[in-house]
């Protein structure tokens, strides 16, 4: 029944044909169970493990590598190699792919936990009326039409319509569903609001929420998937995880690279068709296979096999740094996404605020001398810890607050007219509450005021253990006064009273809504001397003005406190006793903003990131909080910047689009609105980060580009998020954004480094094939260079220091290419030099090296016809391992120098020297040690087809390698001086090509 909130009690009962005094019959239960199903959230089928594994290989580059591995294996067998030697190269490729697949499977398995943990918020049992009798049944057995009784502490087992309140009132904490900072009072009357949201449906008890005060009966109207909790589950199922900008760019790069690789491979093979029949190959078919193998080697050279591993490693290093900032990363790619975040949709309660109601203002009558004069006190401390001070109107701290009569009696009333509990949890090392948040705030106020008669107050309290300190002052007052009788809070009176006895003296303490308490007061307590004076119309008007100021402009939740001397020996209270009260004071409380939020939001604005406050609370409360934060002072007022969810939905499409670009506050939201906001912003090409802590936030957290859950939040929110804030602090989000930007900058640097290196390898093989000289490098050597000698320095580039102005620039665009325009030209030049230097080392050994054969260059070009001609050298010289070893060593050393070029995109090595990143220096040294090992250790040298080099050969290697630094220094000079930078245009300007970011 979807509109039960708008129907009367009798209409709802009639719809389900249920008698509220007897409940459903067994026959009706059976019929309803068949029609509506069980009261459980259906368990989704998890993706089979084998499908998750196969999904990881659904990538074009990966498919090309697999094909290259198998082709290489069969070609090696065709050339007469043993199975073991033929399998070396393919096995290395397959091991890398398996490692990357394992990381992907683990990530996707974690993502499915959110739906599982949603079930934890379902109640286990319920008190149900059936066949005229109450019984406790499993909540899963509930059916629509069941009459259920709930009381304090009960978790609501299903969506239910209130039919009877069995106490003075009923209040429910539904923060996990709506994000409201205070509990909500429920009532029997139908809701008349149009487009009602959860907060408007005050006659409905929602599944998974908790009763914090009162007792009531209700009829079940929705079970399982047809509940508010079920709609959240369905929303999460419909939400697909957003692909991160970097992942999109790498995917585009893969597609682009695959086309280039295919084109070059085919070109190399076709160009050499005339050489298929050369006698050296032993026939046309063998010649075709030989050049096909060269094409495969070209594919291996072009694909940066180590790129996924290096990206994963760099992001993992970033997560460690972010963990130190209290940001726990659950999804590695989200680290990079932070760097291009343009909008942060921040939950209000618990993120911008502490989610701990506390008293912030106190107003009492100071004195009647020279006319009535009010005193206003400010209370510090914003958590459940009994820590804080009282300050007077001039900002001076009160040393012993309890020596002031009004404050002393406020402490007594707060401690005694109270049903809540504060306790210290040693496992979590935090103070926790049990009961109404407003009553907890009063408990804490009593602790902050302290006790009278001790000169060492309140410092003496700090000597207690945390467990003793939690309620020391409250327990003192409870030991001094014996509670005799209690009048509970009711909606008509809007107050509660407690009768206490102390030393043959009876006192009634009362607390409640200011208008209710003031109307019953005839006297007022003075704070200067503790005297009681009549409450005149003038004083009453002053107090009402202060109340209106607290509740209006400052949006504080206000309570008034009063007392009354009762006749000796009175043992009970009646409503008539709540008259002729003596007014003690007025307290204003709020869920206070975190101290560090203001600077954090200003940092976002400086970084070009917009902050939208999203809350389930009402519009006035949200706007007041933003004013208290102080970061939105530049707006003046919030007209055109603040909307309720209903107001926003009713806007025409064009106005809605404009509102999205200006919006600062969206209030009165429910789960579907949060997800709608994320989608609307993403449709405007915004990169959205969403914070949240409740079950209601889970769909939006999953839909956002990066979902950020609070450490104290629900398990559902954490599982649906990409990142968890251990300290629940918005300021941590800003620090994480700065780290994300730095990580992206470093990621960009090592991607460019690896790409330029691979361009060099492609140029090397392509030029060798075009010149008709022997193979300069074999595939296993290329693999070694790509994985080890490229991978280690690339990973170390991830340790480049964060720029000092990283949060002073605008967010990068999501479609920004990693390498584009001028940069593409730069790295093409560097790559071309790397390839040409590698080929030059190979040719030098044959033509110019004194200990080499010193062949004429034409002989080298016609090496394949050596066996058919008479020569003054042995044809076996072309099988010598020295020239390919020189080429491979040139390739390794030139890339080490190129790694130093990537300490900065544009800054010279004279400005940012190598030792600014000692990890990079260490990786270069370690890489060279590894390379020397494979040259000089026999089993390894045979495996990689290399041989030891002489000093002369090493000297030439250095001569050929070092110029890459000089070339890049010249290119960096042009980059720094834009006035003399040349404009280069390419048909394909971006190495990571642009396309539409989202398919709408």
Containing H/E element for 222?
Answer: strand 215-222
Q: 558 and 551 in contact (C-beta within 8 Å)? A: yes
List the structure tokens of 296.
Answer: 């495969």
427-429-432 Cα angle (round to 5): 95
Angle between helices 821-847 and 951-961 (to 10 degrees): 160
448 burial (CB, 10 Å; 0-12 / 13-18 / 19+) is: buried
Strand 204-205 vs strand 343-347: parallel, antiparallel, or unpaired?
Answer: unpaired
Backbone angle region of 109, left / alpha / beta, with phi > 0 → left and psi within -120 to 50 → alpha: alpha
Between CA 623 and CA 621 the distance in angstroms is: 6
Angle between helices 437-449 and 472-480 (to 10 degrees): 90
Q: Say whether 347 is catalytic.
A: yes
CA distance 681 to 661: 9
Instruction: Tell me the CB-side half-sphere exposure of residue 104, using CA atoms within 13 A.
Output: 20
| Helices and strands, number each (H, E), in the chain | 35, 29
335 contacts 740 by C-beta, under 8 angstroms: yes
| Count of Cβ atoms closer than 10 Å to residue 528 Cβ | 16
807 neighbors 603 (Cβ within 8 angstroms):
yes
Given a contact cutoff of 8 angstroms between Cβ atoms, the answer to whether 10 and 213 are in contact is no
Q: Which of 146, 347, 591, 790 is catalytic?
A: 347
* CA 695 centroid distance within chain: 15
In degrees rounded to 5, what are phi and psi of residue 486? -135, 135
Q: CA nearest 561: which of 532, 587, 537?
A: 587
The strand pair at 343-347 and 688-692 is best described as parallel
Task: Quote the CA–CA distance of 173 and 349 in Å, as a whole number.
Answer: 13
Going by C-alpha positions, the residue among 889, 887, 895, 801 that lies closest to residue 846 is: 887
- Best CA proximity match to 159, nearest among 132, 188, 138, 139: 139
Query: Which residues contact residue 801 at a Cβ distance below 8 angstroms, ignoring those fewer than 6 apart?
Result: 916, 917
Q: In whole angstroms, give the CA distance from residue 31 to residue 947.
A: 84
- Specify whether the CB–CB gap between 226 and 36 falls below 8 A: yes
- Return the HEC string of 377-424: EEECCCCCCCCCCEECCCCCECCCHHHCHHHHHHHHHHHHCCCCEEEE
SS3 240: coil
Cα–Cα distance between 87 and 69 in angstroms, integer? 9
The SS3 call for residue 814 is coil
Q: Which residues contact 233 (CB under 8 A, 6 or more apart)?
A: 41, 115, 118, 225
Cβ atoms of 698 and 716 closer than 8 Å: yes
Of 732, 742, 735, give the one whose Cα is nearest residue 917: 742
* DSSP label of 820: B
DSSP state of 273: G
The count of C-alpha atoms lying within 13 angstroms of the C-alpha of 455, restricted to the half-sphere facing its C-beta, is 0
| Angle subtended by helix axes 951-961 and 963-976, to nearest 10 | 10
Beta strand pairing status for 147-151 and 204-205? unpaired
**Virtual torsion, Cα 655, 661, 664, 669, nearest 10 deg:** 60
* Cα 853 from Cα 776, distance rounded (Å): 16
**Where in the sequence numbering do the catalytic residues fall?**
347
């Amino acid at each position: 029944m979807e509109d039960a909130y708008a129907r009367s009690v009798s209409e709802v009962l009639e719809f389900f044909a249920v008698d509220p005094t007897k409940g459903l019959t067994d026959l009706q239960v059976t019929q309803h169970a068949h029609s509506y199903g069980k009261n459980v959230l259906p368990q989704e089928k998890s993706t089979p493990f084998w499908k998750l594994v196969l999904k990881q290989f659904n990538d074009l580059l990966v498919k090309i590598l697999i094909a290259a591995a198998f082709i290489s294996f069969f070609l090696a067998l065709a050339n007469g190699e043993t199975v073991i030697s033929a399998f070396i190269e393919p096995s290395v490729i397959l091991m890398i792919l398996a490692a990357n697949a394992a990381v992907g499977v683990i990530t996707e398995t974690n993502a499915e936990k959110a739906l599982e943990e949603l079930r934890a918020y379902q109640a286990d049992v319920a008190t149900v009326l059936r066949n005229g009798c109450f019984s406790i049944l499993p909540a899963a057995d509930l059916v629509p039409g069941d009459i259920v009784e709930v009381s304090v502490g009960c978790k609501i087992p299903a969506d239910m319509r209130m039919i009877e309140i069995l106490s003075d009132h009923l209040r429910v904490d539904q923060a996990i569903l709506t994000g409201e900072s205070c509990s909500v009072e429920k009532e029997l009357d139908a809701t008349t609001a149009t487009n009602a949201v959860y907060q408007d449906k005050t006659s409905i008890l929602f599944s998974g929420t908790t009763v914090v005060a009162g007792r009531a009966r209700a009829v079940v109207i929705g079970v399982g998937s047809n509940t508010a909790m079920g709609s959240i589950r369905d929303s999460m199922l419909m939400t697909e995880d957003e692909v991160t900008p970097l992942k999109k760019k790498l995917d585009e790069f893969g597609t682009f690279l695959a086309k280039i690789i295919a084109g070059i491979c085919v070109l190399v093979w076709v160009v050499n068709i005339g050489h298929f029949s050369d006698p050296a190959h032993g026939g046309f078919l063998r010649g075709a296979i030989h050049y096909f193998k060269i094409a495969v080697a070209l594919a291996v050279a072009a694909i940066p096999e180590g790129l996924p591993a290096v990206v994963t490693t760099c992001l993992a290093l970033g997560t460690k740094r972010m963990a130190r900032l209290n940001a726990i990363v659950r999804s590695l790619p989200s680290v990079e996404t932070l760097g291009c975040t343009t909008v942060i949709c921040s939950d209000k309660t618990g993120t911008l605020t502490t989610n701990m109601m506390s008293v912030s203002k106190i107003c009492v009558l100071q004195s009647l001398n020279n006319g009535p004069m009010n005193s206003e006190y400010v209370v510090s401390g914003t958590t459940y810890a009994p820590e804080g001070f009282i300050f007077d109107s001039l900002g001076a701290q009160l040393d012993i607050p309890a020596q002031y009569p009004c404050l002393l009696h406020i402490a007594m009333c707060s401690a005694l007219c109270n049903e809540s509990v504060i306790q210290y949890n040693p496992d979590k090392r935090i103070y926790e509450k049990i009961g109404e948040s407003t009553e907890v705030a009063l408990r804490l106020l009593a602790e902050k005021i302290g006790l009278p008669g001790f000169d060492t107050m309140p410092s003496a309290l700090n000597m207690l253990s945390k467990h003793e300190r939690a309620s020391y002052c409250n327990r003192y007052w409870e030991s001094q006064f014996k509670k005799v009788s209690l009048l509970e809070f009711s909606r008509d009176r809007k107050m509660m009273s407690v009768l206490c006895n102390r030393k043959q003296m009876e006192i009634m303490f009362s607390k409640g809504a200011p208008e209710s308490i003031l109307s019953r007061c005839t006297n007022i307590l003075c704070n200067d001397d503790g005297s009681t004076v009549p409450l005149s119309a003038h004083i009453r008007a002053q107090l009402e003005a202060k109340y209106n100021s607290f509740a209006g402009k400052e949006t504080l939740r206000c309570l008034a406190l009063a007392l009354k001397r009762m006749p000796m020996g009175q043992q009970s209270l009646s409503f008539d006793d709540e008259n002729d009260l003596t007014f003690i004071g007025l307290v204003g409380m709020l869920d206070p903003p975190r101290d560090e939020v203001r600077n954090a939001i200003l940092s976002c604005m400086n970084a070009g990131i917009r902050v939208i406050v999203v809350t389930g609370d009402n519009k006035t409360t949200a706007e007041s909080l933003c004013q208290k934060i102080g970061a939105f002072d530049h707006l003046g007022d919030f007209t055109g910047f603040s909307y309720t969810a209903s107001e926003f939905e009713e806007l025409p499409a064009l106005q809605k689009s404009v509102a999205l670009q200006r919006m600062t506050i969206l209030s009165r939201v429910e789960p579907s609105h949060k997800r709608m906001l994320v989608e609307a912003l993403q449709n405007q090409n915004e990169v959205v980060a969403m914070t949240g802590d409740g079950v209601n936030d889970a769909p939006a957290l999953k839909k956002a580009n990066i979902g950020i859950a609070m450490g104290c939040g629900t398990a559902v929110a954490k599982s649906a998020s990409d990142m968890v804030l251990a300290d629940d602090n918005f300021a941590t989000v800003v620090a994480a954004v700065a780290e994300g930007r730095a990580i992206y900058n470093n990621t960009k640097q090592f991607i460019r480094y690896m790409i330029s290196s691979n361009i060099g390898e492609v140029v090397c093989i392509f030029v060798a094939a075009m010149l008709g000289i022997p193979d300069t490098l074999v595939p296993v050597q290329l693999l070694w260079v790509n994985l080890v000698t490229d991978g280690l320095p690339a990973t170390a580039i991830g340790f480049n220091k964060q720029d000092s102005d990283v949060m002073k620039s605008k967010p990068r665009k999501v479609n920004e290419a990693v390498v584009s325009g001028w940069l593409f030209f730069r790295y093409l030049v560097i790559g071309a030099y790397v390839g040409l230097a590698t080929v030059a080392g190979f040719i030098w050994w044959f033509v110019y090296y004194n200990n080499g054969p010193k062949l004429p260059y034409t002989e080298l070009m016609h090496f394949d016809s050596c066996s058919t001609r008479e020569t003054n050298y042995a044809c076996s010289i072309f099988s010598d391992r020295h020239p390919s070893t020189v080429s491979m060593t040139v390739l390794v050393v030139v890339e080490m120098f190129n790694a130093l070029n990537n300490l900065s995109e544009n800054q010279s090595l004279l400005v940012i020297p190598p030792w600014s990143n000692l990890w990079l220096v260490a990786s270069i040294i370690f890489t060279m040690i590894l390379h020397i090992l494979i040259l000089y250790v026999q089993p390894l040298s045979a495996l990689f087809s290399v041989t030891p080099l002489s000093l002369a050969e090493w000297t030439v290697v250095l001569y050929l390698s070092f110029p890459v630094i000089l070339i890049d220094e010249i290119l960096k000079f042009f980059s720094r001086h834009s006035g003399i930078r040349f404009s280069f245009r390419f048909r394909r300007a971006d190495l990571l090509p642009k396309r539409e970011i989202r398919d709408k």
